[in-house]
Amino acid sequence: MQCFLSTTLEERRDCRAILRSTLHQVLKSQPSLISEFLVPEYRKIETDKVIWTTDTLGDLWPRVIAEATKTSPLTVVIDGFDEIDDMDQDEFFSCFKKYESQFPESQNLRLLILSRQCLSLFRYAKEFNQYEMKAEDTWEDIYTTVKAQLSRFADYVGYTPELQERVCREIADGARGMYLWATVMVAELEHTLPTQYDLKQQLESLPKELAELYDSILGRISKKGKFGPIVKIVLSWVAFQQELLKTDELGAGLALSRAQARPAQGRRATPTIDDEILQKFKLPNVKPTVFRLCGQLVKFSAGNVELVHRSLAEYLMTPTATLEKQHGNKINIPHHKEFYMDKEKSHATLGSLCVAYLVMSYFNDSGERFQSSNDGRARWEQKVRQRMKNHEFARYAALCWSKHLKDSGTSLPEKDGQRKLENPTTPHAICWTEVWWLARRWPRLDYPADNLDISDILFHNPLSSPRDPPQPRPQSIPPPETSLASLGPAQGTVPPPPLSNTPVPSPGPPLRHSPGGPHHKPPRGGPGPITTAPRPRSPPVDTRNGIELPRTVSRKPVGSPGRGPPTQGLRPRPRRPAHDDNPGSGYDPGQSYGQNPPYNHPPASTDSPRSHPNQPYGPNAQCNHNPRGHNDSDTGDNSPTEPGGICEWLCCCLR
């Protein structure tokens, strides 16, 4: 099993992400455990607004893992452990310790952690074997990667074989073990296509640090004059996004920023924004335009956009003087001041734009009120989905406007737009809270049309336990280094995991113009300590990132479309025919399906692990699947693991 952590994704940036991901994979591979462990836990807390808290999962995780490893060995790989804060790291280690203390006889679990050095690994250093990865360990893999990327355009530009060989060696040497540096450097060459003479000149003065590389790329963009400001707008949305922005949402955000930047007319302090204005400022083709402007600084994956690496965010958010001090004033970043972004001011700007979007004239009418009947629930869901379809930025704005303003760090003057959104009697407040509810609590809980508590929504974090916000990580550790830790007995071998078909959380296949790619997990900051348990034989090395992986770890994304219970739950939904005339057909938010929605789920427009539109409506909806796990029918359709079963749906909730 593999768990991929990232600060970009809210559902993958804490201890709960590790527990949810690993539990989901185990339960999908051994469905019989769903009825035994998951359903009883759900029945106890199904009325809570947040079911799978860290405490609940921390109590469930040791028992499920212990039962799963009774029949076969299991290896858990956690990638990017340093992406979560120290408190979450300690919580996971505490959960692992609980497993060891409660089930000391279990010897079939091995834990492999890929991380740069951090305090928690230092504290637990005596409990696992370590291996420090050096630059020479990855040189050959980096050379091979650079050669493959260079071959895509070298012949087109007319580089000689001798020059290509020199480029591969110079970049592999200059990377000093950093895949990210090498892949971004080659992607920059592919983007600019320098002549042989210019390329030779560049090889004489390659950037030495990631910050210098980013600065040189932004400097090239800045020289084009008019493109610099729009590139900064793109990077600000992508760097400070609170939820993964979809491509269309990024386009709407860019239009908002450009519309606000235009001169105000008359006595207005700020220009007004409406649908007509936004259409004028929208980019015709968001993805190709953003790639042409930003090149290798951003990447598109599964319809979402994010920075190529979090080190770019650190470069953009760190003051110039601080960056120079960190590198002993030996760093050359002449363009940094132009692209520096103050974190608090940026969040304030983005939050204000989200508020401006949500108070547009379209949202003056919230439509039909929510009704608790089945037909009323269906009409309400269709209405809200249609709103999100017509206004592609509604989802992001509803989920994130308050988060941006909260992270602005200062008490901003409350404006009329914000007051409209915080007043539960206004149609604007009803519109955005309905979108929020569909994304976060529907269909398990009905929308509280008669008792709407805005404060409950504003302070709600659906992916975390109720606790204090994470504190900044202490800076007592040396500069970031790549490390890989494996908890478990120091002696013995690590058997391959049995889950050959287990989905793993992966952002998807690397794209042609995404340097590094989602699977290109580069060493963060360069070579560093790596730890791993001894193996009886040398494991294969993934040439894309040089990281040793278990032989049977699958790369199927965990976020692939799942299956949920039928709308009414009184009979199983029929399976899709083997030869469907239109297998790509999905759920149309604008179409009314009543009690018979299509088999496929709708496009991932809500980003919620519990957003299954085909699940029974309301908190008291029932389905005919026996929670005890027994099949009461001769047809087999009532099995809790069949499509539409509540147990299957519960397991999908852990994604």
Q: What is the per-residue pLDDT across 205-241, written as a single tens digit (0 to 9) for each?
A: 999 899 999 999 999 988 877 788 899 999 999 999 9
Residue 60 has pLDDT above 90, yes or no: yes
pLDDT at 529: 38
Do the domain assignments include residue 488?
A: yes
Do the domain assignments include residue 633?
A: no
Percent of the chain scoring above 90 in pLDDT: 44
- The Cβ of residue 493 has, within 10 Å, a number of other Cβ atoms equal to 13
Residue 639 has pLDDT above 90, yes or no: no
- Residue appearing with tokens 């908890």: 487
Domain region containing 41: 2-135+479-530
Token couple for 344: 């608090």
Do the domain assignments include residue 92?
A: yes
Q: What is the per-residue pLDDT across 166-177, written as a single tens digit (0 to 9) for each?
A: 999 999 999 999
My answer on whether omega of the bond before 643 falls inside 30° of 0, hence cis, is no
Do the domain assignments include residue 82?
A: yes
Do the domain assignments include residue 60?
A: yes
pLDDT at 576: 36
C-alpha R_g of the chain: 26
DSSP labels for 357-412? Answer: HHTSGGGG---SPP-SSHHHHHHHHHHHHHHHHHSTTHHHHHHHHHHHHHHT-S-P
Contact 649, 42 (CB under 8 A): no
Do the domain assignments include residue 495?
A: yes
The Cα–Cα gap between 341 and 363 comes to 31
pLDDT at 519: 40
Contact 367, 280 (CB under 8 A): no
Residue 198 has pLDDT above 70, yes or no: yes
pLDDT (mean) for 536-557: 35
The Cα–Cα gap between 114 and 25 comes to 19
- On average, the pLDDT of the chain sits at 74
Residue 31 has pLDDT above 70, yes or no: yes
Residue 157 has pLDDT above 50, yes or no: yes
Residue 539 has pLDDT above 60, yes or no: no
Whole-angstrom CA distances from 127 to 58, 97, 474, 488, 613 are: 21, 11, 22, 7, 45
pLDDT (mean) for 125-131: 84
Burial grade of 18 (CB within 10 A; 0-12, 13-18, 19 or more): buried
Q: What is the per-residue pLDDT across 47-56, written as a single tens digit (0 to 9) for each?
A: 666 778 888 9
pLDDT (mean) for 243-256: 93
Looking at the structure of the chain, the number of domains it has is 1
Whether pTM > 0.85 for this model: the answer is no
Do the domain assignments include residue 84?
A: yes
Find all residues with CB under 8 Å of 397, minimum gap 6, and list them.
354, 355, 357, 358, 432
Q: What is the per-residue pLDDT across 401-456, written as a single tens digit (0 to 9) for each?
A: 999 998 887 655 667 788 899 999 999 999 999 999 999 888 888 999 988 889 88
Do the domain assignments include residue 489?
A: yes
Q: Which of 398, 474, 406, 470 is nearest to 435 (CA)?
A: 398
pLDDT tier for residue 610 given thresholds of 50, 70 and 90: very low
DSSP labels for 158-180? Answer: T--HHHHHHHHHHHHHHHTT-HH
pLDDT at 187: 92
pLDDT at 262: 75
pLDDT at 481: 40
- The Cβ of residue 202 has, within 10 Å, a number of other Cβ atoms equal to 18
Residue 545 has pLDDT above 70, yes or no: no
Residue 621 has pLDDT above 70, yes or no: no
